[in-house]
Amino acid sequence: MTRQAPESIEDIVKGIVAAELRTDRGKLQPQTHLMKDLGADSLDALNIAIRLEEAFKIKIPDEAIPNFLTVGDIVKGVEKHQASASMV
């Protein structure tokens, strides 16, 4: 019997970005720029932040959101906020 590997942070982030921006997750690379490559706007960024907070049980501060420019930025951001949460 094989255990299914838990989804990585990157997998979950790609799933959320793909769902919110109505795009194919196969197109998402760490360097994919949400606004320049996928046509996202600030409202999309806010909605993605909501979904990330729900999925990872973290709180994303307002000032972090403008830094979520690429998929890779988001993954790093989630890792950072998960680490802060676990330090409490």
Partner 1 sequence: MKIRRVAVTGLGLIAPLGVGCENVWPAILAGRSGISRINDFDTSRLKTTIAGVCRDFCPERFFDEREISRLDRVSQLAMAATDMAIKDSGLCNGQLDSYDAGVILGTGFGGQRSIEDFCLAFLSNGQGRRSAIAIPKSMYNASSSNVAIRYKTRGPNITVTTACSSGANAIGQAAQLIRYGHAERMIAGGADAPITPVVMDAWKEMRVLSTKNECPERACKPFSANRDGFVLAEGAGIVVLESVDSALERGAHIYAEILGYGSTADASHITFPDPEGEAFAISRALKDAGIAPDEIGYINAHGTATKLNDASETDAIKRVFGDRAYQIPVSSTKSMLGHSMGAAGGIEIVVSLLAIDHGRIPPTINYEEPDAQCDLDYVADGARPFPEGNGPRTAMSNSFGFGGNNAVVVMRQLAP
Question: What distance in Å separates the CA atoms of residue 13 and residue 7, rounded to the nearest whole number?
Answer: 10
Q: In Å, what is the CA distance from 13 to each residue of 1, 39, 88? A: 28, 17, 24
Q: Which of 7, 77, 88 is nearest to 49 (CA)?
A: 77
Least distance in angstroms from the C-beta of 11 to partner 1: 22
Does 43 interact with partner 1 (rule: CB under 8 A)?
yes
Contact with partner 1 (CB under 8 A): which of 47, 55, 64, 72?
Answer: 47
Cβ distance to partner 1 smaller for residue 51 or 80:
51
Least distance in angstroms from the C-beta of 44 to partner 1: 8
Does 21 interact with partner 1 (rule: CB under 8 A)?
yes
Does 46 interact with partner 1 (rule: CB under 8 A)?
yes
16-52 CB burial, b ≥16 within 10 A, e <16? bbbebbebeeeebeeebebeebbebeeebbeebbebb
Least distance in angstroms from the C-beta of 42 to partner 1: 9
Q: Which residues of this chain interact with partner 1, rule CB under 8 A?
A: 21-22, 43, 46-47, 50, 54
